Chain A
Amino acid sequence: FIILPPDMHFHMIIVAVFWFGFVDSRKIRGISSSYKRFFRERKSFLCIDGSKIIPFEQVNDDYCDCEDGSDEPGTSACPQGRFYCTNLGFRPHYIPSSRVNDGICDCCDASDEYNSHAHCQNACWNLGQRERAYVEGQMRTLDEGLQLKQQLIEEGVLLWREKQAQLRELQQVAEDLQTKLEERRSRKQEADRLKEQTPRPPEAGDGQNSTVTGTFKLLDSNKDGSITVDEVQAKVALVHDEERVLSEDEAVALLGGDHQMDLTTFQHTLWDILTNGGRVKVSALSNTFLFVFLSDLREKLAIDYGPDWEFLFLNSQCYKLKVYEYTYTLCPFNQVTQQSTAGTEVSLGRWGMWEGPPKNQYGRMVYENGEPCWQGGSRSTTVTLTCGTETALRSVKEPSKCQYIMDFQTPVACQPVLKQRGIHSEL
């Protein structure tokens, strides 16, 4: 039980008294059916906030009596008022009272311009049809998008596991290497110590603990079962100049004139070269590379790819869009760049973080610390993710200098919640 102030009691009584006593004989403009009960015609009207009672003739008489604007739902008299567009055939909605009879058609049923020079047509049916078609299209996209998303989630999970496995494996290799390196170091120290006492014996190859497969695996950084030019360049070095990276030609030569090499071939060719104490060897620096690779992988796996790793597949992709004279490239979780027709490339930001609103945390990504700006600060890009059946960059804008906004469409941005909220029910 609520204790009301005495005059409030009185108001309530009046409301109660008149509640059933009168029929709705006059059409009250600008109200929804749920508000009709406040406007049953009777002698007086109680402002909906209960602040004042006025004669009923003063409802919609183009003068604002109620503080809350409730006495003028159908005119422009109240600054706080709102007008209800019924919009049969489309979507009903409220407009501010200030848009009633302002000469601009706001309600598609033209009900807001009942006393103006504007010639408004009832456009609700057309709008409704268009809207329905649009919504249907959206729903189809959403359905399709959600299916695709499911696939991508499944793939994402697999990819995640695979990457985790790779990480574990690499970690193992790294540990092995570390041990080996330490062993070698201590051996070298031992040798140095012995060297002072005995004549220096010919240096033994490192091969004595290495197996053919072990070395192969070490060289095969991406674990695809074959060694490529890149991998050779990364981990094979000249004996007398370990710092220098082999040229592509040199690497190709080591691969027997080919661009890649499998284990079998390796065993008979490169393995010999490496173990026979020739001019090349497996670089000691390769473990630096390995650690870089490892930390890179760790870093990548530390990124939030969504609850089901559904965004993981974007990791190694790049998407381009040409806008006037510029080509924009979005490499998700990595960077955004802009290339002019003249060819110069400018960084518009490196991966920063997810920055969606609480309801849709994965709705927006931010890329920061791009190329510095002319007037201080640096370029940054905000990417909004929207639901679509394919993954593509849809638009790029620069509303303020050096602040870019991208619209990025992808099935993984499709959200079932959207479907539940579907606009069908409102039509």
Chain B
Amino acid sequence: MAPVLVLWLAMSLSGTWAVDKGNFKTCDQSAFCKRQRALKPGDSPYRALLETMELTNTRLTLQLINDNNKVRLLLELYRLQGNMTRVKINELKPLKPRFEVPDVLITEPSTEPLSLLSQDENGVVLSLGTESQRVIISARPFRLDIMEGPEVLMSLNSRGLLAFEHLRMRKDTSLLIHILAQWMISIFKEEEEKVDGMWEETFKSHSDSKPNGPSAISLDFSLPGVEHVYGIPEHADTLRLKTTDNGDPYRLYNLDVFQYELYNPMALYGAVPVMLAHKAQRTTGIFWLNAAETWVDISSNTAGKVCSSETPQTDVRWISESGIIDVFIMLGPTPKDVFSQYASLTGTQSFPPLAAVGYHQCRWNYNDQEDVASVDAGFDEHDIPYDYIWLDIEHTDGKRYFTWDSHKFASPKEMLQALEDKKRKMVAIVDPHIKVDSNYKIHNEIRNKGFYIKNKDGGDYEGWCWPGSAGYPDFTRPDMRAWWASMFAYDQYEGTAENLYTWNDMNEPSVFNGPEVTMHKDAVHGAWEHRDVHNLYGLYVQMATAEGQIQRSGGVERPFVLTRAFFAGSQRYGAVWTGDNAAEWDHLKVSIPMCLSLGLVGISFCGADVGGFFKSPSTELLVRWYQTGAYQPFFRAHAHLDTPRREPWLFGPENTALIRDVVRQRYTLLPYWYQQFYHAYRTGEPIMRPLWVEYPQDPATFALDDEFLIGKDLLVHPVTEEGARGVTAYLPGKDQVWFDVHTFQKHNGAQSLYIPVTMSSIPVFQRGGSIIPRKMRVRRSSSCMTHDPYTLYVALNLQRTAEGELYIDDGHTFNYEKKEFIHRRLSFAKNMLSSVNLATDAEFSTGSWIERIVILGASKPSKVTLKTADGQESQLEFDFDASMSVLTLRKPGVNAGLDWNVMLQ
């Protein structure tokens, strides 16, 4: 949802359907960005004072001095386990402490020994761990080069853009200033502010008092050989990041942007300051751990040039408003190494309840209990499965979260029970802005406990949001988060039950009457300004909410919380969606690169509002969006209050059938999706991933963002063009084959394939060499399918082999952490398909069995023998379709948790 006020303003002022860019700052309007960007590459004023170097086993420290102002910085360098290097730079003696981001790293990263290789007056050379990697620290000017063999992997401050605005006393507070000269000083001060905005800054009618003055930091990174960089979400832009020389840098500042515009570097709801750099031989990553407003400039020496003899190089530069430089350099070398390196720092995707991987039906708003019941019944009537129905803000008593409207939702427990009776669930929204109302328990408690964020003058910060005047709890406080979590207990949050989950919206935070629709930067969180913690706020809200859900079940049940704002580490707390998009074809298209970018930086559980939030989709767009959304990790339809109803059965029987079909495709694939989530939880690898992640040496894949992989075995090229008659999909991999999952037709890899499409087409291919488990009995909800049997789709590669996995657990508790699951490897080789235990120390029993085995690219056997764990052999009936080379084995019937094999003869 987007702010009503802004909406009204936008409507009345422009009458158009686009973001009002004037509401949001450009780099020029953000004083520190303007100041920093004015510095041009050249000789750095910083010099390393080698005589101050201290090297312990795990840490190197060294002072840097700015020769212009003599301010000293302290550099810390660590070699981290798993091929990472951490560089921290802070003021040696700051006037007061500078903010260091807490709660994002899962632990203090483990270090590895550093050793000194050589040292002279020009610099030092350190060995990084056991590999042939070295760090060269040059003294004058200061620069860092990370080398592997003769190759430079990455250089820091090679363009001399290291900048550190040291904390300082305000000039007019100095004793040296004579009262008599006050007027002169004030003129001077005004001048300074006009030029720099160092001690005060005004944007539109909002003034930022900046009591700490200038505090920005900046550092440049050079990436030799790199032409492709990715990441730093959230932006509505292509997967491959563009150079920013001719425009604004990419901005990272969590904002509630009303009707965001596509293909530009404006900030959106979330920020993950992680960039991946890729070339055929190596993938690296930069994690800039800073939660303040941040801008990222990208330039490339080959950009726009068709043919260049230069060695390609990409240069990036990070600028943040406050805090310290704390950067993790992830050295790969493979994409998956980078994922695992980043996961070791910030954790992996939380493993969601299975139901959350199903289909979600949302709308602003389902009006009352009767409405909920009738939509629920509509799904049964039209035989479309769904797992969650959602309630937006109108379900509350006057936008007081944790309450229900007493007329419209008079008996929420009955409503939840009715859903439970069909094994379905509900999500209700809980936003972090709290209505200022002395009759509202939540508000009173927060106020009495002093948990609200304070304004610059020490009072409770108040802003305008859905409920009118609202306070914002200080989620950066652990005691506040603990209290918030306790509010989800069944006896606190009345009318709730186990099948009610939560949605955190507006947690950028959105403040309708604040600067850029968010909180004033000089608002106060204890010792820190909002300026320091801004991008962390949304993460904390989701963290506390997820914790509340865990606690209410005594730590047994997995939580499910959706958030709009996020930061590095948010993957640990649930799902995110791409915010308030619109019912336009371009928004459908951009949902792919947006979720791909999030996946690359750890946030796998991503989706876009199916159908588009603002405006009303054409039937064709709606169907195409369902087809796309069904193959993205978070699959939820949502609609704005002002749009006509769009439940799947409202567009005629033909379109109902198209939507039903694709939702059912999603449900048949739930075993595969769930396994991908388990894998993401274990490894940090993205679920929805760009092709280059699996084919890192194929340059044809590097910029593809109209198709993607789910895991490594399914390739999806959604139809995102209006009136499309066909799509051209690139099928990667020399010596690879791909099978159309609908027709079983086989295609060779490393080719662009034209696929004619109709309205029912959603081009999806299974990789030859993979085995995908499905459940073909699509029922009302995922929970209804728990005990259902599996069909295994075995797609043979050119070597006539295939591999896959099968993961089964209870689908909703944390017992998988106690090794209560089944994890099996399925492999096909030498005409034998076998299932072996991948987790012998784990234990779980399932009623599910193997119903059918479909082998794609097979030849006709004369006999098929099933052998079970007890040594029993039996013949299986089979059916062979010679036209498509598809062999279907009838009813092996073995329990899915046991050892077995099938022999084709």
Q: Is the CB of B383 within 8 A of A96?
A: yes
Chain A residues positioned under 8 Å from B644 (CB to CB): 400, 403
Bound: A77/B643 CA distance, A: 39
Q: Is the CB of B778 within 8 A of A79?
A: yes
A399 within 8 A of B: yes
Please encode chain B, from 414 to 447, with 1 for each CB lying within 8 Å of some chain A CB and 0 for all others.
0000000111000000000000000000000000
Which residue of B642, B851, B852, B891 is within 8 Å of A373 (Cβ)?
Answer: B642
Chain A residues positioned under 8 Å from B890 (CB to CB): 63, 65
Q: Is the CB of A102 within 8 A of B891?
A: no
Query: What is the distance, in angstroms, from B409's C-beta to the closest C-beta of chain A?
Result: 12
Which residue of A63, A98, A324, A399 is within 8 Å of B779 (Cβ)?
Answer: A98
Chain B residues positioned under 8 Å from A394 (CB to CB): none
Q: Is the CB of B645 within 8 A of A79?
A: no
Please encode chain B, from 614 to 652, with 1 for each CB lying within 8 Å of some chain A CB and 0 for all others.
000000000000000000000000000111110000000
Chain A residues positioned under 8 Å from B891 (CB to CB): 61-63
Bound: A15/B889 CA distance, A: 28
Please encode chain A, from 390 to 410, with 1 for each CB lying within 8 Å of some chain B CB and 0 for all others.
000000011111110000000
Q: Is the CB of B643 within 8 A of A63?
A: no
A63-B891, A401-B641 known; A102+B367 contact, CB < 8 A: no
Q: Is the CB of B777 within 8 A of A324?
A: no
Bound: A398/B423 CA distance, A: 28
Query: What is the distance, in angstroms, from B381's C-beta to the closest C-beta of chain A?
Result: 11
Q: Count the A residues whose beta carbon is within 8 Å of the partner chain — how many?
A: 26
B881 within 8 A of A: no
Query: What is the distance, in angstroms, from B422's C-beta to the closest C-beta of chain A?
Result: 6
Query: What is the distance, in angstroms, from B390's C-beta to the closest C-beta of chain A?
Result: 16
Which residue of A98, A116, A373, A400 is within 8 Å of B780 (Cβ)?
Answer: A98
Q: Is the CB of B784 within 8 A of A104?
A: yes
Interface residues of A in 53-108 (CB under 8 A from B): 61-63, 65, 76-77, 79, 96-99, 102-104
Q: Is the CB of B645 within 8 A of A324?
A: no
Interface residues of A in 23-81 (CB under 8 A from B): 61-63, 65, 76-77, 79
A104-B422, A399-B371 known; A79+B777 contact, CB < 8 A: yes
Q: Is the CB of A375 within 8 A of B776?
A: no
Chain B residues positioned under 8 Å from A96 (CB to CB): 383
Chain B residues positioned under 8 Å from A63 (CB to CB): 851-852, 890-891
Q: Is the CB of B645 within 8 A of A104?
A: no
B407 within 8 A of A: yes
Chain B residues positioned under 8 Å from A401 (CB to CB): 641-643
Q: Is the CB of B784 within 8 A of A398?
A: no
Q: Is the CB of B645 within 8 A of A102?
A: no
Q: Is the CB of A399 within 8 A of B777?
A: no
A63-B890, A76-B777, A104-B421 known; A398+B367 contact, CB < 8 A: yes
Q: Is the CB of B777 within 8 A of A104?
A: no
Chain B residues positioned under 8 Å from A20 (CB to CB): none
In the complex formed, the residue of B with least CB distance to A401 is: B642
Chain B residues positioned under 8 Å from A76 (CB to CB): 777, 779, 788
Chain B residues positioned under 8 Å from A116 (CB to CB): 787
Please encode chain B, from 280 to 302, with 1 for each CB lying within 8 Å of some chain A CB and 0 for all others.
00000000000000000000000
Bound: A97/B777 CA distance, A: 9
Bound: A399/B363 CA distance, A: 11
A104-B421, A398-B367 known; A99+B780 contact, CB < 8 A: yes
Bound: A184/B315 CA distance, A: 95
In the complex formed, the residue of A with least CB distance to B370 is: A397
Which residue of A97, A375, A397 is within 8 Å of B642 (Cβ)?
Answer: A375
Query: What is the distance, in angstroms, from B424's C-beta to the closest C-beta of chain A?
Result: 10
In the complex formed, the residue of B with least CB distance to A75 is: B777
Chain A residues positioned under 8 Å from B407 (CB to CB): 324
Bound: A26/B785 CA distance, A: 29
Q: Is the CB of B645 within 8 A of A399?
A: yes
A1 within 8 A of B: no
In the complex formed, the residue of B with least CB distance to A115 is: B787
Bound: A65/B890 CA distance, A: 9
Given A98-B777, A99-B780, A102-B779, 12 extra CB contacts under 8 A: A63-B852, A63-B890, A76-B777, A76-B788, A77-B851, A103-B423, A374-B11, A374-B642, A400-B643, A401-B641, A401-B642, A401-B643
Leading 9 A-B pairs by shortest Cβ distance: A102-B784, A375-B642, A63-B891, A98-B779, A400-B644, A401-B642, A400-B645, A102-B779, A76-B777
26 A-B contact pairs sorted by A residue (CB < 8 Å): A61-B891, A62-B891, A63-B851, A63-B852, A63-B890, A63-B891, A79-B776, A79-B778, A98-B383, A98-B778, A99-B780, A102-B423, A102-B780, A103-B783, A103-B784, A104-B421, A104-B423, A104-B780, A104-B784, A116-B787, A374-B11, A399-B371, A399-B645, A400-B643, A400-B645, A402-B642
